[in-house]
Amino acid sequence: MFLKFLFKQRTPQFALGEDVKLRYLGPSDARAFRDHIHELHFEDFRDRFNGLVSDDWLDRYIARSLNEAIVIGAFEDDHLVAVAELHTGGQIEPGQGESAFSVASDWRHKGLGTILLKALLRAASENDISTIIVETGGQNQAMKALARRFGARMQLAGDQSVGRINVAEGLRLAGRHVAKQNYPVPLPVGEAPEMANPLS
């Protein structure tokens, strides 16, 4: 399923204005990914992992993600400021992917999570994933609001809030939100036509 993804060029593929670029991350980005996670404020770190984790656990998680999942990073110059992940396999049903997001604390509430989710929707569509699962702590209001914006119905499951985004519907809503709220639209950078426009 992910052969298309694995052989895509790992060069910048989107630009947000002149400040932020998005691209796929691979194993060589492990250090930047780790540094990004360690820069999160305590509350944001807790929201991302639903608690605290050790450095050893984090290193194993990063290695597994960069080798097995679709991972998109947002960079300000060479500094990684946000990451979106889409995991499949294991106990996740075929045709579904489980998402994860982390946005640098100083970059929160600026629309970057929205842009990353649009890019993740496009990546899911290109890899025959019809449903994105969003699971976050019940206290993570920003993530729950973002998921609802793209059609998820968030429900409590213990101390977690879980929802599902229909990829086709999410892409439709992404286009509508851009038209009505004037979100910045990623522009193509380099040669990656299959992901050049995550809203089409």
Distance CA 189, CA 169 (A): 26
Residue with tokens 């890019």: 119
pLDDT score recorded for residue 150:
93
Nearest CA to 76 among 18, 13, 10?
18
Residue with tokens 């990656």: 192
Distance CA 182, CA 164 (A): 25
Residue with tokens 């929160």: 108
pLDDT score recorded for residue 179:
42
Distance CA 15, CA 75 (A): 10
pLDDT score recorded for residue 138:
75
pLDDT score recorded for residue 11:
43
pLDDT score recorded for residue 74:
93
Written as one letter, the residue type at 8 is K
Contact predicate 45/70, CB 8 Å: no
Nearest CA to 132 among 105, 81, 95, 186?
95
User: Mean pLDDT per segment of 10 residues, for the chain of length 200 residues?
Assistant: 42 54 93 94 82 90 95 92 94 93 87 90 93 87 89 86 93 68 35 34
Distance CA 51, CA 54 (A): 10
Distance CA 102, CA 52 (A): 14
3-state secondary structure of 45: helix
3-state secondary structure of 114: helix
